[in-house]
Amino acid sequence: MSLNFFSCSQEKYNAQLKGDTMGTFYIIEVVSVPKKLKIKNIEKEVKDTLLKANKILSNWDKNSEISKINKFSKTTPIKISDELNEVFETAYKINVKTNGFFDITLDPVIELWGFGYKSNQIQKVPTERQIKNTLSLVGQRSLLNINYEKYEIRKKNKDLKINLSSIGKGFGIDLIGRKLDQLGVKNYLINIGGDILTKGHNKKKESWIIGIENPNLDVKLIKEIVNITNKGLATSGDYKNFFTENGKRYSHIINPKTGKPITHKTKSVTVIHDNSMKADGWATAFLALGRVDGLKIAEKEKIAVLFIDKIDDKLIKFKSNQFVNFKQN
């Protein structure tokens, strides 16, 4: 972790924390922090929170809570932490509202296509039979029983595996936000790999200004700029993680209904929501759905979302009514 310290006044200061986590980078800006809150203490609390998040949510950590659940090959109840209970509850709601296009039990299919977290991944197109057989292990509502009151889950199929990469990073960000709130930091921006949580104001005492990346990485331009505060923001795209076989491109975003990578025109989705976990989960769900069906659900659920579609080799933006409220003037 590196630390940039910017003096603000006699009583308050601004600072920036940087480092690596969850297979990506993080940048945390804190603004107008009272001098009595030592930056070294904030730095330590952030580190500890990141370690805690990984120990619960990370599929890459073989000893994390979710990895232990995946290794548990029985259909008896499993006790889970408060944090995992909260993640599962949000994942369930998004699953229901998207008619299953967001599904945390998709792990075996993700692995089948070579987009998983195992070190010996081979990216190749599986056979139809392989896809069909693997899809029998997918079904968040039908194959996973969750008792939120008892903090318990039960696999209906002992081979069920859970992948939290579509929502875990967002929740990790929220945990850091809660820790900063507890410490008394009132103005901050947390950025982990492009997923964001904002609180209060920036150094100019204004809402935080966020640039949304152009899905065409050859053009280093910001595609959209928004002003947000006390909100989470997440972008999900199909333009960074993919492989090509026989001239055809296969995205890491899998349609849970077909067990195959998405083929629609939507290249990226950005969601602004109450927190980073909801923004993260919904962004993945909307990318799996695509703009045509996704925008209908967004309007029904009053979710702020920006779809960027590739139509006739041009990138076209489509916004829900709620998203327009955050557009920078």
**How would DSSP label each residue in 95-122?**
HHHTTTSS-TT-HHHHHHTT-SS-TT--
Look up residue 105 and give its two tokens.
């039990």
Query: What's the pLDDT score for residue 119?
Result: 61
Query: What's the pLDDT score for residue 227?
Result: 94
Distances (CA, A) of 201 to 27, 28, 148, 155, 206: 16, 13, 35, 44, 5
The whole-chain average pLDDT of the chain stands at: 91
pTM over 0.95: no
8 pLDDT exceeds 80? no
248 pLDDT exceeds 90? no
CB 126 within 8 A of CB 33: no
Phi and psi, residue 271, nearest 5°:
-120, 135
Query: What's the pLDDT score for residue 1?
Result: 60
Per mean pLDDT, which range of 100-109, 148-157, 309-318 is the poorest?
309-318
Q: Most distant CA pair in the chain: distance in Å?
A: 68
Q: Which residue has the higher pLDDT, 290 or 9?
A: 290
Which residues 6+ apart lie within 8 Å of 170 measured at CB?
Answer: 195, 232, 234, 275, 276, 277, 278, 279, 280, 281
CB 263 within 8 A of CB 242: no
120 pLDDT exceeds 80? no
Q: Percentage of the chain with pLDDT > 90? A: 77
Q: pLDDT for 129-186, tens place per residue?
A: 999 999 999 999 999 999 999 999 999 999 999 999 999 999 999 999 999 999 999 9
- Taken in order of first residue, the domains within the chain and their CATH numbers are 2-54+170-326 (3.10.520.10), 65-155 (1.10.3980.10)
Query: What's the pLDDT score for residue 114?
Result: 85
> Rounded mean pLDDT of 112-140?
88
**How would DSSP label each residue in 41-75?**
HHHHHHHHHHHHHHHHH-SSSTTSHHHHHHH--SS
